[in-house]
């Protein structure tokens, strides 16, 4: 694992390819209250780029160019939250996208455990530490443990996608997954607009 920490933006000379694994760290899980602190990215090559933000400083033109590029697939685990935070703070709609949590729920119907650590352990034989899940991501200096935790959230997503592509095809659910992925930016927009707890499809 190689980790590069950048401040305010991604360097202009870094190209993360056609499929970019993406995750975010925030001050909490309420997008109306808790600000974006960190964006993690990987092209699946064992290298992770972390972009750390100060409060109110979200210009980041290089990062926005890659996240908003319609020719690049953005690969998430639980895209609903990350897409909402990215759109709220960076003003970019990160699509097209792929969400391993949606893929897991469509294929692993024998369980209700679809967290990233569970998927990495069961499908890749990789144990992830979640000890830093609740920590201060707005700190001026991030610890080595925080950096490693953040990197691990994106370093395995490409391999998980490969596994889920096979499972979705096997269960004839690829078309459903793709439809869900297309809808996720709208679902995130609904969350930000105030419908996060309301099922607009219910009676």
149 in catalytic set: yes
Catalytic residue among 23, 87, 95, 191: 23
Catalytic residue among 9, 25, 87, 191: 25
Catalytic residue among 9, 58, 82, 98: 82
82 in catalytic set: yes
Catalytic residue among 87, 95, 149, 191: 149
Cis previous bond, 154, omega within 30: no
23 in catalytic set: yes
Residues in the chain, overall count = 203
* CA torsion through residues 64, 66, 70, 76, sign: negative
Catalytic residues, by residue number, are 23, 25, 82, 149, 153
């Amino acid at each position: 694992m190689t980790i590069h920490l950048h401040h305010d933006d991604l360097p202009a000379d870094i190209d993360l390819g056609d499929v970019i694994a993406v995750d975010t760290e925030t001050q909490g899980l309420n997008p109306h209250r808790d600000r974006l602190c960190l964006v993690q990215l990987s092209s699946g090559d064992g290298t992770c780029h972390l972009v750390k933000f100060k409060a109110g400083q979200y210009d980041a033109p290089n990062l926005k160019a890659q996240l908003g590029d319609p020719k690049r697939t953005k690969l998430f685990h639980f895209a609903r939250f990350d897409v909402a935070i990215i759109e709220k703070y960076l003003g970019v709609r990160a699509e097209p996208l792929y969400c391993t949590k949606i893929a897991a729920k469509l294929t692993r119907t024998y369980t209700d455990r679809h967290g990233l650590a569970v998927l990495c352990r069961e499908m890749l034989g990789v144990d992830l530490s979640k000890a830093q899940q609740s920590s201060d991501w707005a700190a001026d200096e991030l610890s080595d443990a925080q950096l490693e935790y953040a990197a691990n959230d994106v370093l395995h997503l490409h391999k998980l996608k490969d596994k889920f592509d096979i499972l979705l095809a096997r269960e004839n659910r690829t078309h459903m997954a793709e439809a869900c992925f297309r809808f996720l930016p709208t679902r995130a927009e609904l969350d930000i607009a105030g419908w996060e707890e309301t099922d607009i499809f219910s009676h």
